[in-house]
Every structure is written in C-alpha cells, then in structure tokens.
Structure 1
C-alpha cells in the first residue's frame, strides 16, 4: 500500500474518531442537565444507550488510526523516525488523546452505574479540553516545526 493511501486512511479514521470524541462529552453535558432537572427515567436510560453506542462506535476508529499511523512510521523507516523530533512530540500528545478517550469510558461507566455526576460545566470543559491538543497534533504533523 502506498504511503499516500496510508496517510489518507490515517487521517480519515482520525477525523471519524475525533468527531466522536467531541460529541460524547456533549452527550455527558446533556445527560448531567437531564439528571439535574429530574426529568423522566426513560430519558436518562436513552442517554446511557446513546453514550455507550457512540463510545463503542468510535473506538474502532481509534484503533484504526493507530494501526495506520504505525504503518506510516514503518513505511518511512527507522532513520526517518529517529530524525523526526516533531513526531516524537506528536506521539506524546497522541498518547494524551488516547488517555482522554479511555477517561471518557470511565465517565461513561460512571453514568451507566448512576454514580454521582459532576456539574454540566465540568462536562463542557471536558468537551473542549482536547481542542488544543488536537490543534498541536495537526500543526506538528503538517508544519513540522521541530
């Protein structure tokens, strides 16, 4: 498979994954608002279903992003990897995004178990937190400033 196809697939799956990572915490915001207003239990259960389905829908995209990213690194070779300081920084930031992904799973499990939740503001901040990381990852990958 050519490097251009690997790049295209890596970027596609990354975009699909990020779309889910941006939407899942937004569902948490609405879920927390719903629980705070004591609306129907049916609505609460529907949020649980939506959150679980979305997390399990986007997780394969996280895996495919990783697979095609590793394939790109292997295709470029060890010498390129060793000389690419920007990539080393990017990979550290990517690890943070994967940690964020699995933290969202912990939050999802807390909602599913009806554990006390945080404020809707917390989930709004959680929703916006990865934006700067993703911006830095994209800049590193495109501009390669280091």
Structure 2
C-alpha cells in the first residue's frame, strides 16, 4: 500500500508543480498583452489551469502526503520532514498568491509588470529544490 500511495503522491505533486510553473508564465504574457481579445484568452487559460489542474493536484498531493505520514508515523520525528512541511506550507501560500493574482487579472486590476511575474515565477524552483533535497538526502 505504501508504494502505491507514494507513487500517487509523486504523480499529483508533479501535476501541481506543472501548474505552479506555468501559471506565473501566463501572468508574464498576460501583463504584456495590450489587446482585449488576448487578455480574455489569458483569463480563460489561467482560470482553467488554476481550478482544473492546480487546485485538484494540490489537494491530492496533500491527501497522499498525509496518508504517507499516517502509514509511517516515524517520519514526524525526523527533522527533514519538519523542514519539508515548512516548504509545503510556503508552496501552499504561493499557490494562493497565484489565485489572488489570477483574480486581479480577471477583474482587469493587475498592477504588476511582466518583470515582476518573471521573478515571481522563479520562487517555486527553490522550494522544489529544497523539498527534493530534503526527501532524498534527509540531511537531518
């Protein structure tokens, strides 16, 4: 059972990160868009990505992750797991920030430049690196 849950945790995490990486990239292009038709197209793409892929993937990642902790309760005594969960909380916050930015674009209230979103897009890379290193290396 453990390996199945772990496999589905990894699959849902990969899907979640695909959206986490792509949505801010859409924000970059959306912030650069000057025509109404293009803006409306980005609004649809952003909404479908956030609600149809990112949100379900995040929920499944969390369900399978907590299931893994339930199956191996000893994980919670290890420092690397506490650090990983801290990064997961930061990632959830990032996810919700993406949702807030998406709503601003949907209401034509975006005040950020494409340069801001280019930098914002890099944040989850560092979170992913930290999570992978913690899970594989288990440094503490």
Q: TM-score, normalised by structure 2?
A: 0.96
2:58 corresponds to which of 55, 62, 67: 62
Match of 1:128 in 2: 122
- Report matched runs for 1:40-79 at 5 Å: 40-57=35-52, 58-77=54-73
Q: What corresponds to 1:100 in structure 2?
A: 94
When Rg is computed on C-alpha atoms for both structures, the one with the higher figure is 1
Q: What's the RMSD between the two structures over aligned residues? A: 0.9
| 1:4-83 map, 5 Å | 4-34=3-33, 38=34, 40-57=35-52, 58-77=54-73, 80-83=74-77
Cα distance in 1 for partners of 2:76, 2:12 equals 25
Q: Note if contact 2:101-2:110 (Cα within 8 Å) is conserved in structure 1.
A: no
Shift of 1:81: 3.1
Quickly say closer, same or farther: Cα 1:82–1:65, change in 2 above 3 A. Answer: closer
Instruction: Give the whole-Å Cα distance in 1 for the aligned partners of 2:45 and 2:7.
Output: 29
5+ residue gaps, structure 1, are none
For these two proteins, the number of residue pairs brought into alignment is 139
CA distance in 2, matches of 1:65, 1:124: 26
1:143 deviation in Å? 0.9
